[in-house]
Amino acid sequence: MTTDQASRLEVEDLQQNLRSVQERLARTHDPAGLRAELDKLHPADLAYILEALPLDERLVVWNLVKAEREGEILLELSDAVRESLIATMDSKELVAAAETLDADEIADLAPDLPEEVVQDVIRALPQEERVLLRAALSYDEGTVGALMEFDQVTVREDVTLEAATRYLRALDELPPHTDQLFVIDRGNKLRGTLPLARLIVSDLERVVGDVMVPESVKLRPEDRAEDAAQAFERYDLVSAPVVDLITGSLVGRVTVNAVMDHIREKSAESQLAEAGLSKEEDVFAPVWNSFKNRWAWLAVNLVTAFVASRVIGAFEGSIEKLVALAALMPIVAGIGGNSGNQTITMIVRALALGQIQSSYWNKLIAKELGVATLNGVVWGGLLGFATYLLYHSVALGGVMALAMLLNLLLAAGMGVAIPALRARFGRDPAVGSSVLITACTDSGGFFIFLGLATLFLL
C-alpha cells in the first residue's frame, strides 16, 4: 500500500479536511465550529473543498467564509465554480471582495464580474492602483500582460549592496517569488537583474551595477504567454521582468507560479476541447448548464455524421445487392479516423513547439504516406483476409484491403494538410483538428469502400 501511504501528504490531508467539513455540515448546526475550522484553511484548500461540494452544501460553506477572504478564494477556484458563487453575491459583496486584491488579481477576476461591479471597484481604488488595474485590464488573455504582476522590487544601479540590503530590510517582507531584484536607472529603464542568491554571497561594499546580471530574459506585455512559458522552462526561471518594447522601461514581472497556472490551464483546455467540452465544467453543475457547455460540439458532430450518412445513402442500391457492405464499412472509416488522429496530433504538437520548418513539409508528408502504406498493407491485408474468411469472396476481401489502404493514405494526407494549411492561414492548428480529420475519414472511408465495391463487385 505504498501509493496510498505516499499520497497521504497532500491528497489525504485535503480529503480529511473535506470530510471533516462535511461531517460538521451534516451534524446539525454548528456554524461557529465550522467557521473556525474554515478560517484555519489555506485559501487554495478552501477552494478545493468548495469545488468538491454539491451546490447547496457549497453555498452553506461559502456563506460562512469571512468576507475579507472571499477575494483570494475566488481567485483559486475553477471558472465554473467561481461563476456559481459569484452568481449568489450582490454587487456590494463583490466590490468588497475585489478590493482586498492586488490590481493584477482583480484583472484576473474581472471577466467573471458584472460590468458595473468592475466600474465600482475601479472607482474605489487609490489612484496608483487604478492606473495599474486599467493597464492590466487592457491586455488580452493569452499574453504576458495578462500573467503580469506589479509587486516587483527595484533597486538602482549606483547604490552599494549594503544600501540595497538596508532598503530591503526596511521593506520587512519581500513579495512571494522574489528571487531577484530588478535594477533600473533614473528613467525606470531596466538595466539588469540582481539575484538574491548573488546579493547574499557578494561583498556588501560593491555596487549593484557591478554585481548585477546585465543580460537576462526580458518579456514584453504583448508577448504570447505560451512563449513566456517556454522561456521559463528552457532557462529555468523563477521570475522575469516585463519591459515596454519602445521605452525599455520596467512594467512588471511574471513569476513561475503564474506560468505554471497558465500551463495547467492550457493543458486542461486542450483536453476538454478534444472531448468537445467548451470549458471546464463544475461536476455538480445543473443539467441545463452542462447541456449548454456540450451542445455545440454535439451539433457539429451531428452535421458531419449526417453528411457521412448521406454518402452511404447514395450507395443504398449497392448495399441492397450486397448487404455485407453495411457491416464492413464502419471498419474502414474507423481505422482511417484513428490513424488520421495519430498523424494530426503529432504534427500539431511539433508545430506548437516550432519544430517544423517550411522546408521540411515534403519530408514529413513522404514519411506519413510511408507509415500509412505500411499500415494499409498490414491491417488492410489482415482485414481483407478476415473478410474473405467470413464471406468467402476473394473480390470482397480485395476491395476491403484496397479501401483500407486508400483511406489510410487519405488520413495521412489530410493529417498533414489540415494543420499545415491552418498554420499558414494564421489559425491555431489545434482547434477542432480532430473533428475535421474524422469528418474526412468517415465520409471518405464510406465513399472509397462503397465506391470500390460498386465498381468491382456489382
The residues in 292-351 that bind its own copies, with binding defined as CB under 8 A, are 294-295, 297-299, 301-302, 305-306, 308-310, 312-313, 316, 319-320, 323-331, 333-335, 338-339, 341-342, 344-347, 349-350
Q: What are phi and psi of 185, to 5 degrees?
A: -95, -170
Check binding of 287 to its own copies (CB under 8 A): yes
Check binding of 44 to its own copies (CB under 8 A): yes
Q: In this structure, how many other beta carbons lie within 10 angstroms of the beta carbon of residue 449?
A: 27
Say how far apart CA 163 and CA 43 lie, in whole Å: 36
Binding its own copies (rule: CB under 8 A), the pick from 36, 67, 200, 213 is 200
Check binding of 127 to its own copies (CB under 8 A): no
Check binding of 154 to its own copies (CB under 8 A): no
Distance of closest approach, residue 149 Cβ to its own copies, in angstroms: 12
Binding its own copies (rule: CB under 8 A), the pick from 202, 216, 248, 388 is 202
Distance of closest approach, residue 421 Cβ to its own copies, in angstroms: 18
Say how far apart CA 209 and CA 183 lie, in whole Å: 8
Give the three-state DSSP class for 245: coil
Comparison of 95 and 383: residue with beta carbon closer to its own copies: 383
Residues numbered 61 to 90 that lie near its own copies (CB under 8 A) are none
Residues numbered 235 to 254 that lie near its own copies (CB under 8 A) are 235-236, 238, 245
Residues numbered 388 to 407 that lie near its own copies (CB under 8 A) are 390
Binding its own copies (rule: CB under 8 A), the pick from 176, 247, 395, 431 is 176
Comparison of 125 and 411: residue with beta carbon closer to its own copies: 411
Distance of closest approach, residue 286 Cβ to its own copies, in angstroms: 8
Q: In this structure, how many other beta carbons lie within 10 angstroms of the beta carbon of residue 228?
A: 24
Distance of closest approach, residue 123 Cβ to its own copies, in angstroms: 30
Binding its own copies (rule: CB under 8 A), the pick from 32, 186, 187, 357 is 357
Which amino acid is present at 283? V
Binding its own copies (rule: CB under 8 A), the pick from 30, 36, 131, 291 is 291
Check binding of 425 to its own copies (CB under 8 A): no
> Who contacts 143 (Cβ-Cβ below 8 Å, separation ≥6)?
221, 222, 223, 224, 225
> Who contacts 385 (Cβ-Cβ below 8 Å, separation ≥6)?
397
Cα-Cα-Cα-Cα torsion 151, 152, 157, 161, nearest 10 degrees, comes to 100
Distance of closest approach, residue 93 Cβ to its own copies, in angstroms: 25
Chain centroid to Cα 226, Å, comes to: 10
What grid cell was written down for 177? 517569488
Comparison of 100 and 373: residue with beta carbon closer to its own copies: 373
SS3 content of the chain, % helix, strand, coil (to 5): 70, 5, 25
Check binding of 263 to its own copies (CB under 8 A): yes
Alpha-helix runs per DSSP H in 55-124: 55-64, 70-76, 79-86, 91-99, 103-109, 115-124
Query: How many residues lie near its own copies (CB under 8 A)?
Result: 142
Residues numbered 18 to 37 that lie near its own copies (CB under 8 A) are 18-19, 22
Q: Which of 390, 399, 408 is nearest to 444 (CA)?
A: 408
